[in-house]
Structure 1
Amino acid sequence: MSQNPVGHFVNQLRVRPEVLRVAPAGMTPTWTVRVQAAEAWDAVRVECRPDTTVRDLKRVAMHNLLPDIAEQDAWLVKLHGGEVEDEAVTLQAAGAQDASTFFLTSRRRRPLK
């Protein structure tokens, strides 16, 4: 469970009921983050550790939010409005905290209509 009561509340807004988990076996998750996919208009909660990599978070979230997408490198992860360019960094090193929100979006720009 999230240590941040406000973040815990925010992570429950408009997300799927299940909570995904990204943590090595036997290790207790300490953070709950929200991952939202703009193109899917959907979001999930993910229990993880501060030392989880952005790549692992992206993989689990895309598997659940965008299961038909085969090329994950064509998608980027955003945190605090900016792209996380090195997905090998940990969530903590990327600047995330417990209850942070990550966004998944396609690298390909779509024309405005």
Structure 2
Amino acid sequence: MTAPFVTNLRRCNDEPIHIGKVDGQVLRLRAQVASMWDAIRIDTAPDATVREVKLAALETLVPDSFPPDQYVVKLRGFEVLDENVTVTDAGALDGSIFLILDRRRRPIR
């Protein structure tokens, strides 16, 4: 994906969420919670952790959700096993998409 794709998300609040000090290099990311069918833009410093991205997305899109540990984060189709690594160490580039999914499939009622 490219940064222009990430920056063209349609939401009522057009401002991205900022994580860390974004004074220098900024990564423009997209975080999507699959169960909500919605996504947010995140501008983050390269040294921000994957967990910070996950928490920001859950807080914004699903404020009354299950505990954060019941969700997994995927980048390029693979689960990020250690959420304490930085987004760049996880392999994120400018324009990357983090997909946040329920750890276990939930029945539809």
Identity of aligned residues (%): 39
CA drift of 1:91 comes to 0.4
Q: Which runs of 5+ in 2 are unaligned?
A: none
- Equivalent residue number for residue 49 of structure 1: 45
Between the aligned partners of 1:67 and 1:28, the Cα distance in structure 2 is 30
RMSD: 1.9
Which amino acid is the alignment partner of residue 54 of structure 2? Answer: K
2:56 alignment counterpart: 60
Q: How does 1:1-113 map to 2 (within 5 A)?
A: 7-16=2-11, 17-24=14-21, 27-28=23-24, 30-110=26-106
Q: Structure 1: which 4+ aligned runs deviate by more than 4 Å?
A: none
Residue pair 2:19, 2:48 contacting (<8 A) in 1 also? yes
Question: 1:23·1:52 contact (CA, 8 Å) conserved in 2?
Answer: yes
Q: How many residues end up aligned between the 2 structures? A: 106
The two structures have a TM-score, normalised by structure 2, of: 0.86
Q: TM-score, normalised by structure 1?
A: 0.84
**Structure 1 unaligned regions, length at least 5:** 1-5
